Structure 1
């Protein structure tokens, strides 16, 4: 993958795929011109990625600025790409291609930004790569569960909220009849507990008739009453619900090579203002300097805490973060059980978390509650990934 070499490119270009491989960077002209104009107003700090990630993040966070979101989406192209590549290479049986994984995840950029906490010294690129990876794993687990279920097993596992969202996404003008049909299905179709959701057979004709009878009784209790259904219509409602759910939970992908706009159309960003005052840039520079200082302080705390770990704990962190082995592979390497690896990793991370929490209380006077601890834990996980990966890259450059 070709690296973007300038800050203007990193905040104004987007990946184009060709046959599931990186093809080239596509420039968004409006973003490109906007970044060049911003750089012309700034000074040395404005040449740094960290300055602009913090600048655009604060603008997005405080004002919901569309242009800031677009710049951040451009910047996060690379961490999303590397996360997708890691997932598709590591899990060879996934139903995604690299382009599929990238496209399905970059759409959740807003969710990634909402979880980002720059106040704790977190690097956006490192955080995003971890967050995109976790998002893809969650999506894969969900899709795997869906793919292995029979149609009737899927309806049994479904929640009403999921069905409601699926029907709305499919464009059903009225969802009440389908939801009542599904409730009748759940009440009548009680499968054999020995059967798994993967292999649940269709209901019998007698069960379909019982569902229809139940539906026609319950529909009268609603105001206004729902239309009466025959057995065939009830079965059609169930099949329509199954199709809507599968489409919603495992959406189809549209090729990234499709043009976003017609040749003669006006880009949606064209009407957005690019003017920011010098005071905005000055405040952003001060915030960036403060964040960099905090990052250095947290790094010092973590490095000191790691130096106090036992050789066994050092080895565990190297296997997990440096060699990126799975917990199962680590268990085989250390000749212990997988649950022991999980417990030991949790214990080591808790020890590092305690060191950062104490420093935060004593130095920053932060009140440490569960939400703060969760954010700190995420930051430590990101930092460990980056710290050990830099060690690998440093050895590669030296040839040792």
Structure 2
């Protein structure tokens, strides 16, 4: 699909689905105005999308307003789409691409909470994996729900999730209290005899009568004297409702992803497009795009370090060649250069620190990574590996040639 190009579109537009296909981009007018105001105040040259993603994520962590969340939700639309698309193509579940997209984007808050800029390549890369895992987790849960009967679900639910399912179902506090008491009696008295909980069948009349008896015995202390006494028929009705609520909670019906939210401002289509890619090669395309991004970053890092090395004097380059290229110890280098070992040590430390400072400047400017101890340690390790590879290259001059 044709991706969004401008920063304004990236942080203020949303995919519009129609018949399980993404048909275009829908503008959120409020987010667009808000993003435009920030772009107008931004310094020149214009910061990158990575900068704005990190900026809005930082705002999301500190503010109570929903605008930062809205900008991040808009930014991750394509990432969420491709994660959903990949699974929709490879899995046969009876659910659509739009279903998968909605399952994933509904858990945006979980994705944002899990993202740590210091330990991740970027929000896009992290969200791609996170959205995929969210969809897979949902499918595993739904498979469990499909296998279990309603009566088995009532046995498997924790107290917290049972009460939450009743609240989600729209029941009031008094009804929830009564249903919880009847559910606890059900779990106490009715269990599978063969140990196969998933296929637990409906209780018979005698079981419903026993459950009602226990409920009525304890209802004054657990629910209140004014609570309705249970009969076997009423017990069956209540527990049936509880089973429906549990299944609805664990396996909710999905609403169209492009349904208008209440109070949302009207939007406009930025772009209409058709999907013409070969679906069988989607995974290859995604992998190629990720590899291309990594290659670009490696090329940039290589260029930064090479520019730093060019600025060094001949003696400094010779010292690095002896240490990293020939693998000599500091003592051996000191003998060869007719100097003290501590002089070699101090000089190597100074050279490494200078290269590391240049690498840090590049990271802050290009990747917008804040420099803390963890990031610096990681960069230091990268620098050491790079120097070993660079100076062990056969095309580089030897120490004797470098001294000419």
| TM-score of Structure 1 vs Structure 2, range by shorter chain | 0.5 to 0.7
The aligned residue for residue 155 of structure 2 is 156
- Cα distance in 2 between the residues matched to 1:129 and 1:172: 37
- Contact kept in structure 2, 1:59 and 1:68, CA below 8 Å: yes
| Corresponding position: 1:17 with 2:45 | no
Larger Rg: 2
Residue 111 of structure 1 and its aligned partner are, at CA, apart by 1.4
- Contact kept in structure 2, 1:13 and 1:74, CA below 8 Å: yes
Distance 1:121 1:204, change over 3 A: closer
- Contact kept in structure 2, 1:46 and 1:52, CA below 8 Å: no
SS of the aligned residue for 1:244 comes to helix
Residue 177 of structure 1 and its aligned partner are, at CA, apart by 0.9
The aligned residue for residue 311 of structure 1 is none
Residue 39 of structure 1 and its aligned partner are, at CA, apart by 1.7
| Corresponding position: 1:102 with 2:116 | no
- Cα distance in 2 between the residues matched to 1:59 and 1:258: 27
The aligned residue for residue 260 of structure 2 is 259
- Cα distance in 2 between the residues matched to 1:250 and 1:137: 14
Distance 1:81 1:152, change over 3 A: same
Deviations 1:1-54 (A, max 9, x none): 221111111111000011101110101122223222322222345341111001
SS of the aligned residue for 2:118 comes to helix
- Contact kept in structure 1, 2:120 and 2:126, CA below 8 Å: no
Residue 266 of structure 1 and its aligned partner are, at CA, apart by 5.7
SS of the aligned residue for 2:257 comes to coil
- Give the TM-score taking structure 2 as reference length: 0.63
> What does 1:295-314 align with in structure 2 at a 5 Å threshold?
none
- Cα distance in 2 between the residues matched to 1:143 and 1:86: 19
Say how many residue pairs are matched: 275
Structure 2, gaps ≥5 residues long: 267-295, 302-370, 379-404
The aligned residue for residue 144 of structure 1 is 143
Cα RMSD after superposing both structures: 2.6
Distance 1:258 1:366, change over 3 A: closer
- Contact kept in structure 2, 1:2 and 1:24, CA below 8 Å: no
- Cα distance in 1 between the residues matched to 2:119 and 2:236: 54
- Contact kept in structure 1, 2:181 and 2:223, CA below 8 Å: no
Distance 1:365 1:32, change over 3 A: closer
Distance 1:364 1:5, change over 3 A: closer
- Cα distance in 2 between the residues matched to 1:200 and 1:223: 27
118-127 or 222-231: bigger deviation: 222-231
SS of the aligned residue for 1:118 comes to coil
The aligned residue for residue 81 of structure 1 is 81
30-39 or 112-121: bigger deviation: 30-39
- Contact kept in structure 2, 1:45 and 1:51, CA below 8 Å: no
